[in-house]
Amino acid sequence: MQTYRDQPHRDHPVAAEEGGISGADWMTVDWSQLNRGDIDVFKRRLYAHLKHRLARSAEEASLHDWYTALAHTTRDLLVETWTDSQRAAASADAKRVCYLSLEFLIGRSLESNLLAVGMMDICHAALAEMGLDFGAIREQEPEAALGNGGLGRLAACFVDSLATLGIPGEGYGIHYHHGMFRQRIEDGRQVEVPENWLTYGNPWEFKRPDVCYPVRYGGRVEMVDDGEGHQSFVWIHAEEVLAIANDLPVPGYGGFGASSIRLWSARASQEFDLQDFNRGDYIGSVMAAMESESLSKVLYPDDSTEQGKVLRFRQEYFFVAASVADILHQFRAQSGADWSLLPEKVAIQLNDTHPTIAIPELMRLLIDEQGLGWDEAWEISRGVFAYTNHTLLPEALECWPVALFERLLPRHLQIIYEINRRFLDQVRAQVPDDADLVRRVSLIDENGGRRVRMAHLAVVGSHCVNGVARIHTDLMKSGLFADFHRLYPDKIVNRTNGITPRRWLNQANRPLARLISRHVDEDWPVNLDLLRALLPLAEDAGFAEEFRRAKTANKERFTSFSGRTLGVWIDPGSLFDVQVKRIHEYKRQLLNVLHVITRYNRLRHGLTAGMVPRTVIFAGKAAPGYAAAKMIIRLIHAVAGVVNGDPRTRDWLRVVFVPNYNVSSAEVIIPAADLSEQISTAGTEASGTGNMKLALNGALTIGTRDGANIEIAEEVGEENLFFFGLTAEEVAACRSGGYDPMAVMHANPELAEVLNMIRGGYFSPGEPEAFRPLVDALLYGGDHYLLLADYAAYVATQGLVDAAWQDAAGWTRSAITTVARMGKFSADLTVLDYARDIWGVKATAPVMQDLGPYR
C-alpha cells in the first residue's frame, strides 16, 4: 500500500524551474540541506511581486508590502496543484461534495499555506538572508473572520480536510465585506468595532466576474395552464441581484490535493435596478444598487433572535440561490441534463439550517425550469441533501415568518406548503389519530404568528441528519427530533466533530510539533493516530522534560504577547487556566468567575493550603445584543481589577481577559494552556471543538459530561481529566424537580459570600448595583443553567486540579497521554466518515488509505 511518504513530493514551480529540492520536508529538513537554487528562486519571486505588483523597491517596502509580495509568491506555489486537482476531479467525473455554510472562519492563510506546500523552511531561509522577520510579516495579514465561532471554524477545518484527503468538493459561502466585529474593551466593557479585512485587498482570492448568477426576490406567482390539464407555475420576480464568485484556494497538506471556498459577493443587477426599475431617478437607482450590494456587506453575529432580520433572510437565499445555480451549471456541463443522475454526482451538506432554503430552491428549479414532476424532483432532492444540526437550544432554532416568505420568496413558500401537505399526509397514514403529532412535526408553527420551522424542513428534505457529538445526537433523538426519529428511525446519525491537526498542532504549536516529529512517524499531521507512539514516552523522564520545555516556551510566548498587547505581567510558572470561547450563559463563564472569587476569598483569609499559583485566562466575544453576556465580560474585568491589584493575593492569582478572541489569538493562547475549562451545563454544548484543540495541545480538561468532552474522556482516560457536576439526565431531573437555587446558596456559606460580594458592589464600588442582575438571575430567575447546583462540585474539583499540579511529573504524564490519544478528533477522520456514508464520495490522496486502527 502506498503511503504519503512513498510518493514523490509534488513538484513546486520553484523546484521545477531550478531542478532543486522537490521533496523538501520543512519539518525534518536540516537548514544546511536547503537547496541554494530554491532559496534564490524564492527570493527572486518575492522581489518580482514587490516590483511588478506593488511598484515598490526593497528599500521602500513596508512590512505590509512584504506580506503582500510573500502571499502572492506563496499563492503561485499552490495554484498549480489547485488547478490540477480541479481538472482531475472534472475528468474523473467523480461525485463531489458541496459544503454550504453561511460561515467560514478561516483565520490567516500565509503560514498554513506555506506549510501545506512544504515551503516554510525555504521561506524562512530566504527572508533571513534578506534581513526580514517572518513573524512580523505574518502579523500583517488580516484575519478572514467570516464566522462567529465553532460552527464557522468547523467549516474551515472540514475544507482543509477535503483538500488534504483529495476529496472532490468545496465550500460555498458569502464574501462578507465586514467579517466578525472586532472587540475592544473600554472601561471593562465590550465595544464592537467594524472589521475591515479587505481594506488592502485579499491576495489569496481569485475574483471571477465571469462566474455570476442572478438572484431574485419578491413579486408574485402565476399559474399557467397548457390547455391539456397540465399546470405549471411562473415566478414573476420584482428584484434581482447578481452573485459574483470569489475563489479561495485551500491547499492540502503535503502538496497533493487542493480544495476551494467559493464566496459570493453581491452586485447590483444593472439593467434591472438602474434602467427599468428606476428610470429617470438617477440618485434613487444608485441607492437601490447600494441596497442590493449590502447583501454581502456584513456577517450577522449570533444574536439572541433572528426574528425580523430581513437582511439575514435575504443573505441566506442569496448564497443558496447562487450556489445551487452553480452546482447545477457544473453538473450540466459535466453530465448533461439527465437530472436523475444528480445524486450520483453531487452531495450538498447543509451546515445548520441557514442554507435550508436550498431544498425548495432545488425543487423549484427542477419543477418550474426543467419540467420534472414533483415525485421525481423530490427523490432527486432528498438524494442530494444532508443536514447537520449544531444546537439544541430552542432560542437558536431558525423560524422565519410566513409573511416574510410571502413577500420575498412566494414560490418557495408554495413549495414548502406542498412539501408539508405531502409529509403530513404521510404522517397521518403512518400514525393515524394523532393530531398533536401532526401539529408538532408540521413545517409550519401555528402558535402565534405563523412561521416556517427551518429545522423541520431540513429534516424532511434530507436523506441524512447528523448531530456533532454522541450525546448531542442522542439528545436529538430523544428530545428535539424525537417525533422525527420515530417516523424515520435511520435518518439521524452521529458525526463527532474534529479539528485539523495541521493548524491546531503543527502550525500553532511549533515547539511541541518539532518534539513530536523527532519521536513519531513524520506523517502524524495527516494521520493523527500516529501520536499513539508517544504513549510509552509518557513514562520517560527525559521526554517529559522536553515536553515541559515545549509547554514553557508556549507559555512564555503567551506572556510576551499579553505583556505587549495588554500590559499584563504574568508568571509563566503559574498554572494557566484557560476558558476561551463565545461568551454565553450556557457556557458558564460566570461559574468560572464564582470559582475565581472563591479562591480570592480563601487567599484573603489566608487559606492557601494546597493552593498553587494560577493565571485564569478568559477570551471571547458577546453578541452585541446579548446584555447578560456583556455584563459577564464587565464582571470579569472588574474582578480582574480587584484580584490583580491586591498585594495579598497577586502572587497566587491573576485574571487576564484577552480582547478580540479570534483564530490568530487562539493559535497563541491554546498552546500555552495547562487547564482547559469546558464547563457548560450538561446537555447544552452540542460538541465543542476548543475542547479538542486544547487537549491536543496538552492541556488537561476540567469539564462537565457534555458534548465531545465525553468522547475525549473515553479516549484519554477519565484518570487524565477532571469531570464534575450534574449529568444531562440529572440536569433534566433537577430542572423539573423543584430546583431551589436560594436553598443551595443558604447551604453554602462560601457561595453566599461570593454572591453577596458581586451583588453588593464589592467589585464595582462606584456602581454597587452594576452586577446585581447577574446574581438575581441565579437566585430569583431560576438559574436556568444550574450554576449554583454545580458550584460546590466545581470548586472541589478545582482543588483536585491544584493537587494534581503539585505532582509535576504526574501532570506531565497525563498531558503527554492526552496528546497521544487525541487521534480520533482529527477532522480528517470525521470528514472521511461523512464522505463514506453520507456523501458517497471517495478520497483520492494516498496517505488516507492507511488510517490506522480507526478505519
Catalytic annotation, pick one of 312, 453, 557, 582: 582
Contact status, residue 245 vs residue 213, Cβ threshold 8 Å: no
150 in contact with ligand 26V (CB under 6 A): yes
The reply to whether 621 belongs to the active site is no
The helix-helix angle for 808-820 and 541-566 (nearest 10°) equals 90
Q: Which of 254, 343, 707, 823 lies at the binding interface for ligand 26V (CB under 6 A)? A: 707
Considering the rule CB under 6 A, would residue 696 count as an interface residue with ligand 26V?
Answer: no
What residue number has its CB nearest to ligand 26V?
150
From 51-59, 144-152, 647-655, 802-810, span contacting ligand 26V (CB under 6 A): 144-152
Residues sharing a CB contact under 8 Å with residue 217, sequence separation 6 or more, in sequence order: 237, 238, 239, 240, 241, 314, 317, 408, 409
Please state, in angstroms and rounded to a whole number, the distance separating the CA atoms of residues 125 and 43: 10
- Does 250 bind ligand 26V (CB under 6 A)? Our answer is no
Which residue's CB is nearer to ligand 26V, number 41 or number 827? 827
The CA–CA distances, whole Å, from 38 to 11, 21, 343 equal: 12, 7, 45
DSSP 380-415: HHHHHEEEE-----GGGS-EEEHHHHHHH-HHHHHH
Nearest to 165 by CA among 631, 527, 630: 527
Supply angle C-alpha 371, 314, 466, rounded to 5. Answer: 75
Q: Is 332 a catalytic residue?
A: no
- Rounded least distance, CB 306 to ligand 26V, Å: 8
Closest CA to 658 of 616, 629, 619, 622: 619
* Binding flag, residue 468, ligand 26V (CB under 6 A): yes
Least Å distance, CB 701 to ligand 26V, is 15
- The contact mask relative to ligand 26V for 74-93 (x = CB under 6 A, - = no) is --------------------
Shortest Cβ 570–ligand 26V spacing (Å): 28
What is the Cα–Cα distance from 570 to 655, expressed in whole angstroms?
9
Contact 502, 164 (CB under 8 A): yes
For ligand 26V, the closer CB: 349 or 420: 349
Q: How many residues bind ligand 26V (CB under 6 A)?
A: 21
To ligand 26V, the closest distance from the beta carbon of 552 in angstroms equals 30
Give the Cα separation of 26 and 115 in Å (integer).
8
Name the minimum Å distance from CB 332 to ligand 26V. Answer: 33
390/510 with CB nearer ligand 26V = 390
- Which residue in 71, 72, 17 sits closest to 39, CA to CA? 17
- Verify whether residue 309 is a known catalytic residue: no
Judged by CB under 6 A, which stretch of 110-118, 145-153, 169-177, 569-577 contacts ligand 26V? 145-153
Q: Which of 390, 463, 599, 634 is catalytic?
A: 390
Instruction: Note whether 688 binds ligand 26V by CB under 6 A.
Output: yes
Of 73, 615, 687, 830, which lies in the binding site for ligand 26V, with binding defined by CB under 6 A? Answer: 687
CB of 164 to ligand 26V, least distance (A): 20
Q: Work out how close the CB of 699 gets to ligand 26V at its nearest, in angstroms, rounded to a whole number.
A: 17
Q: Mapping DSSP to helix (H, G, I), strand (E, B) and coil, where does residue 531 land?
A: helix
Instruction: Considering the candidates 95, 485, 581, 654, report the single residue annotated as catalytic.
Output: 581
What single DSSP character describes residue 607?
-
Closest to ligand 26V by CB, 169 or 707? 707
467 binds ligand 26V (CB under 6 A): no
382 is catalytic: no
- Residue 842: active-site member: no
By CB under 6 A, the residues from 624 to 663 that bind ligand 26V are none
Assess 151 for contact with ligand 26V (CB under 6 A): yes
Buried b / exposed e over 677-714, threshold 16 CB at 10 Å, is bbbbbbbbbbbbbbbbbbbbbbbbbbbbbbbbbbbbbe
When the beta carbons of 362 and 471 are compared against ligand 26V, the nearer one is: 471
DSSP per-residue letters across 547-562? HHHHHHHHHHHHHHHH
Q: Does 395 bind ligand 26V (CB under 6 A)?
A: yes
Class of residue 748 by CB neighbours under 10 A (exposed 0-12, middle 13-18, buried 19+): middle
Distance CA 677, CA 86 (A): 41
SS3 583: coil
Q: Which is nearer to ligand 26V, 188 or 703 (CB)?
A: 703
Considering the complex, state which of residue 72 and residue 693 has its C-beta at the smaller distance from ligand 26V: 693
Q: Is 747 in the site for ligand 26V (CB under 6 A)?
A: no
Pick between residue 304 and residue 335 the one whose CB is nearest to ligand 26V: 304
Q: CB of 740: closest distance to ligand 26V in angstroms?
A: 26
392 vs 479: CA distance, rounded Å = 9
Interaction of residue 475 with ligand 26V, rule CB under 6 A: no
Q: 342 or 455, CB closer to ligand 26V? A: 455
Considering the complex, what minimum distance in angstroms separates the CB of residue 742 from ligand 26V?
A: 26
- Buried/exposed code over 426-435 (b: 16+ C-beta within 10 A; e: otherwise): ebeeeeeeee
Q: How far apart are the first and last CA of the chain?
A: 15
477 labelled catalytic: no
Contact characters 495-534, ligand 26V, x per CB under 6 A: --x-------------------------------------
Query: Exposure string (b/e) for 21-35, b if CB count within 10 Å is 16 or more?
Result: bbebebbebeeeebb
Decide if residue 473 touches ligand 26V (CB under 6 A): no
616 closest CA partner among 648, 668, 658: 658
Q: Which residue has the cell 429545522?
A: 455
Nearer to ligand 26V, 43 or 390 (CB): 390
Which of 304, 307, 330, 370: binder of ligand 26V (CB under 6 A)? 304
Which amino acid does the sequence have at 308? Answer: G
> Which residue numbers are catalytic?
390, 581-582, 587, 689, 693
Positions that interact with ligand 26V (CB under 6 A): 149-151, 154, 302-304, 352, 390-391, 393, 395-396, 468, 497, 685-689, 707
